[in-house]
Every structure is written in C-alpha cells, then in structure tokens.
Structure 1
Amino acid sequence: MRLSRSLAPVTIALALVLSLPYDAMPHTLAGDGKPPSPSPFGATCRAAVRGSHVVAYCHNPYADIDRVRLHVECTRWWDIDTDSAPVDAGPAMTVRLTGRCWEEVRTVWVSHQKVS
C-alpha cells in the first residue's frame, strides 16, 4: 500500500510532462551538450599604407564566398573618405583591393559579407 502512495505523485508528474506540447518541453543537445559551432568563415586581410595609397590583400581559405570591401578614412576634413566596390573572394582565392586619399590616410579596414 505504501508503495502505491509514493508512485502516485511520480505517475501524475510523468503524465503531465508527457501531455505538454513539444515546444514547451526542454530540448537536449546532441553530442557533448554544446551547440554546434558555426562553420569557419572570413578571408584574412593585410593592408599596407604608403603615403596616400592603400593596398589590401585578402585570402579566403574557406569554402564559403566572402564579399570584401576596403574602407579608407582620410585625415583631412576636406578629403573624401572612400569605400571600394565589393569583391567576391572565392574558396582558396586571394583578391587585391586598392584605395587612396589626396593626402594622409587616417584609418583603413576591410568589411566582410557572407554570400549566400
């Protein structure tokens, strides 16, 4: 008799959990309990500034296409900052990006966009 009293709450709890909709139930992760890591992406870029000219080389070692753009910010307030046209760096491909200011270059960076 005692055994049935102790099983009654467990049975009721199990029935309630099994009657919940799928979205309300906690989900377990497969494998080691960690979410899957994102696939590697992004070209490695190196930029060189010589006077007012900028050259950047971007190499993409991954399978996904990386659309890269060179952004050049000039030092002088009257000098126009420039953004290069986007260039697709395919798998195992190296691309060259160029830009310039009229006088000094303040900062240079490359933006990346994943191509679907």
Structure 2
Amino acid sequence: MRLSGAVLAALALLVAVPPSGAASLGEAAPKPRPFGAECRTGVAGSAVIAYCHNPYPETDRVRLHVECDQWWDIDVDSAPVEAGPAQTVRLTGRCWKEVRSAWVSHQK
C-alpha cells in the first residue's frame, strides 16, 4: 500500500504540531512562586527561640518543634503563628533539661 504525498504531509503535520495548551520544546514550564518565611533558631540551655521573617506576599503559618534529649522530658510543638507579608514573628519553646533538636515547620 502506497501513501500519497498529501496523506504523508497530513501525518507529518499531526506529529509535528502539539495539541493546544501543550508546551512546546522551546517553552519553559511556569516557575512556582517562592513561599515561606526565613527562620533563625537558637538554643540557650533548655530554651529555644526562633525568629521568622516572611518576605513574600502570602501569609506563612509557622510552628516551632522542640525535641528534648531526656526520654521523660515532654517534646514541644507550638501553636501555629501567622507570619504576614513583611512581618517577623518570635516563637519560643523549652525542655526541662537538654534540647536534642529544634526546627520550624511552614504551612500555606
């Protein structure tokens, strides 16, 4: 079976043209918007303090998590605090004895 030139041209066009809405090879995918407050966490003895500054226009809900070193010492998860645009918030937590680790989580 031989295909005519018109049929071959139509098939080549179908393969070469992407469907509408599809990105071609030369187009870049949309970049995600940056999000999340920048946080600095410090430990002094059994106390933990974190300062979080949000430079972005969306609100970031931040929480401080503190893991205590002793097995009997209760770990701490703070209540979420909203860090609005261009706002700095302070989070605190503590253990009875030594702090094993501390970190801040983010939520849109």
Q: Could you say which TM-score interval applies, normalised by the shorter chain? A: 0.7 to 0.9
Q: For residue 69 of structure 1, give the secondary structure of its aligned residue in structure 2.
A: strand
Q: For residue 91 of structure 1, give the secondary structure of its aligned residue in structure 2.
A: coil
With the length of structure 2 as denominator, give the TM-score of the two structures: 0.84
Contact 2:23 2:29 in 1 (8 A): no
- Of structures 1 and 2, the larger Rg is shown by 1
Listed one character per residue, the Cα deviations across residues 35-79 of structure 1 (whole Å, up to 9, x for unaligned) are 111111110000110100000000000000000000000000000
Look up the equivalent residue of 1:6 and give its one-letter code.
G
Q: Residues of 2 paired with 1:14 and 1:88: CA distance?
A: 55
- Structure holding more helix per residue: 1
With the length of structure 1 as denominator, give the TM-score of the two structures: 0.79
Confirm whether residue 8 of structure 1 aligns to residue 7 of structure 2: yes
> Sequence identity, in percent?
60
RMSD, aligned α-carbons: 2.4
- The aligned counterpart of 1:79 is 73
Q: 1:57 aligns with which of 40, 45, 51?
A: 51
Q: Residues of 1 paired with 2:82 and 2:33: CA distance?
A: 18
Matches within 5 A, 1:28-67: 28-29=23-24, 33-67=27-61
Look up the equivalent residue of 2:80 and give its one-letter code.
P
Look up the equivalent residue of 2:39 and give its one-letter code.
C
Look up the equivalent residue of 2:69 and give its one-letter code.
T
